[in-house]
Amino acid sequence: MLFTRSKIFLACTLAAGLGLTACSNSNNDEKKQSTLTASAPATGEASNLSERNAQQRLINTLQQHFKKANINAKILNIKATEVPNLYWVNLEGMSSVYATADGKYIIQGDVLRLGDSKIHNVSESLQSEANKKLLANLKAEDLLIYKAQGKTKHVVYVFTDVSCPYCHKLHEHMSEINAKGIEVRYIAWPRGEQFMPAMESVWCSEDRQAAFDQAIAGTPLAPATCKNPVRDQYQLGLNMGVNGTPAIYNSEGVYLGGYLSPEELVERLNN
C-alpha cells in the first residue's frame, strides 16, 4: 500500500512556512516504511578514515535503536554538519532528521544558525544536494511542463495536487510566471489515496496540460488509467521531505517555499 503508518517523525515547518502557504498532506502521518539497512559506509563531507568510521558507527547505533523501538526506516545517507557532534540523516520516505554523534537523540525540524544578517538553515546545502540528484533523474515525458515565454531564465519543480486550493492559486498565475522566463515542471503529489485517481487521470490524458487545467479548476475529469509515474513521484516527494502542496524547488534542489506570488518567486530565484 502507498500510505502505510510510520512510527516516526511528523514533518515540521517554520511558522511562516508550509502551513500558511500550502495544502497539507491528508495522510501526513502515514509514511511508507522500508527496512533499515547499512551495507556500505556512509558518505560524508569529511574524507578521513576516522570520520567515516564514526559515521558508520552512528549508522549501526541508529539501526540498533530503531530495531528496539520497532521502527523500520532506511538510512540513505549521513553527513556531518557544521554543528559539533551533530549529523544530518537522510531517511527514505520521510523528512531528514538530525542525530547526535552517540545516536541517542534524534532532532526533527530545522537547525538554524544565528549571527549573520540572515538566518542560515544548517541542513539546506546537504538536503539540496540530495534533492538535486533526485530531480535530475526525472524524465521530461513524466512531468507536466509549462515552458517559459521567450528565453528560459529559471526552471522550477513544483509538487502539486489538483485538489489543493493553494495549487489552484499558483496555477492561476502560470501565464505571468512563464512570462517572467520561468519554466514550471509539475510533479504529481496527491495528498492522499483518495486523490490518486484524479492525478492519474491527468497524467494518463492525451492532452495532459488541458486535463490539468480542467481538473485544477474544479471540473471533474473522465477516469483514465495507464502506466504512469504518479505513485513513483509521490514517493520521490516523501524522500525529499515534501509534506504538502505546492512545494517549489529550484533546479539546484533548494526548497523555495509553498505558494509564492510571481514576484515572490522571482525574488527567491534571484537570491
| Dihedral of alpha carbons 187, 190, 191, 193, sign | negative
**Residue 119 pLDDT grade (very low, low, confident, very high; cuts 50, 70, 90):** confident
Measured CA to CA, the distance from residue 242 to residue 187 in angstroms comes to: 11
- The two beta strands, 120-121 and 86-91, are unpaired
More confident of the two residues 271 and 40: 271
Greatest alpha-carbon pair distance for the chain in Å reads: 59
pLDDT tens sequence across 208-225? 999 999 999 999 899 999
- What is the residue extent of each domain of the chain? 18-133, 136-270
Each residue of 196-212: pLDDT tens digit? Answer: 999 999 999 999 999 99
CA 139 centroid distance within chain: 17
Instruction: Tell the CATH superfamily of the 18-133 domain.
Output: Disulphide bond isomerase, DsbC/G, N-terminal (3.10.450.70)
Query: Which amino acid belongs to residue 126?
Result: L
* Predicted local distance difference test score (pLDDT) of residue 124: 84
Percent of the chain with pLDDT over 90: 59
Calculate mean pLDDT across residues 8-35: 48
pLDDT at 27: 60
Specify the CATH superfamily of domain 136-270.
Answer: Glutaredoxin (3.40.30.10)
* Distance, C-alpha 77 to centroid of its chain: 16
Active-site annotation, residues: 161, 164, 167, 191
Q: Tell me which of 16 and 251 has the higher pLDDT.
A: 251
Quote the pTM value. 0.76
Please provide residue 95's backbone torsions phi and psi, each rounded to the nearest 5 degrees: -65, 150
> What radius of gyration do the chain's Cα atoms show?
19
